[in-house]
Amino acid sequence: MRKLGLRLRKGIRQLKDVLIGRTQITNKLKFYLMIGSVMSVHVLLLCIFYQFRVLPMFFFNICSIITYLTCLNLIHRGSKYYLSVYFITFVEVVLHSFAASLVVGWQYGFAQYIIAILPVGFYICYMLDINRRKIKIAVTLAFVSMFAFILCKMISFYREPLIELNNTPLELALYIFNTCCTFFFLILFTLVFVFEIRLSSNQLQHQNAILEKLASTDPLTGLYNRRSMDIFLSQAVESDVAFALIMCDIDDFKKVNDTYGHDFGDVVLKGVAKITTEQVREKGYVCRWGGEEILILLNNASEESSYRIAENIRRNVANRVFDLNEKWIHCSLTLGIALHQKREAVEDTITRADYNLYRGKRGGKNAVIL
């Protein structure tokens, strides 16, 4: 009993963490709550049957409570017993409904618990990601529930109860109690199921966003990759809005890698990418075109505005000190600008920007060529 008390206190702490959003509810905690709730109903029924001297159902509920204590122990032993716990619960609920209908009669509503257990099998299939064969088991048990419910009614129709209570207030109170418990379990499982579907949907959207980001950006610099830029270029051409392309290349980048190592080269690339992104912001898109080359797409750009942005980028890179492991250097950037012309293929605009870039390289580097 001490161990059971410790487990229940642990379960309450876990439930508190779930309610305040500190952690997600685990499958083990779900089973603890499910079995604990069902067992608490049997404890109440035990007291009621003892009070009204319905001894067959009193002893039956003692056996039920022992059964659920065994289920709690199985849950504690691991997930491989979860399905067994469900089967035990299913059999106990059906047998209890039969016994109650036989002993005191149908009118007290004990058969309604068969309906309450119906969605549990499907929920467990979803929760444990069970294969198609076990889903068929859940469907089969659903039909078994239906026939068991009908059979309980037939037993009461053809046989008189073993114990006649002749207590109308008790009959009404027990019927309301059993109905409320049935609806409580149905509502509980529906809410949990809806919550988990929503949680799974949010997780899927989050994972899709991560995958989309991984597929559309360069992992080192965080800039858009070439695949993404091709999409942006197509959209810019279709929109028929004036735009400019700026091709950037880090001067003597191979010498940086050869002299200071590729780790230092990565620092330079990330620093240049950050400066470029800060200057462009919402005016366009920045892409790592290849190696140390960066391509910038500026929307609604003129010669003056595109040159001003390119010059700001060049000046900020030239003034930046790149350092790693107590080593530091200055780098420079050469940029070539080309304004897209109507009816011009975007590949030709890129070629012109690339040509202006190499004009700047031949002219001494650290320059902006329009």
Q: Is 292 a catalytic residue?
A: yes
Identify any residues that bridge with 285 across adjacent strands, giving them in sequence order.
Answer: 297
Q: How far apart are CA 247 and CA 289, in angstroms?
A: 9
| Contact present, 277 and 286 (Cβ < 8 Å) | yes
Element (DSSP H or E) covering residue 79: none
Whole-angstrom distance, CA of residue 237 vs CA of residue 319: 35
DSSP, res 111:
T
CA 23: distance to chain centroid?
13
> Edge-to-edge, what's the strand order for the sheet holding 333-339?
284-290, 293-299, 243-250, 333-339, 368-369
Choosing from 292, 293, 304, 344, the catalytic residue is 292
CB 313 within 8 A of CB 302: no
d(CA 147, CA 125): 22
Nearby residues of 56 by Cβ (< 8 Å), 6 or more positions away = 99, 103, 162, 163
Bridge partner list, 335 = 248, 368
Q: Which two tokens stand for residue 349?
A: 């605009």
Return the closest-CA partner of residue 276 out of 248, 235, 254, 252: 248
Residues 6+ positions from 244 with CB-CB distance below 8 Å: 297, 298, 301, 302, 303, 306, 337, 338, 339, 340
User: What is the helix (H) or strand (E) element at residue 23, kind and residue range?
Assistant: none
Residues with active-site annotation: 292
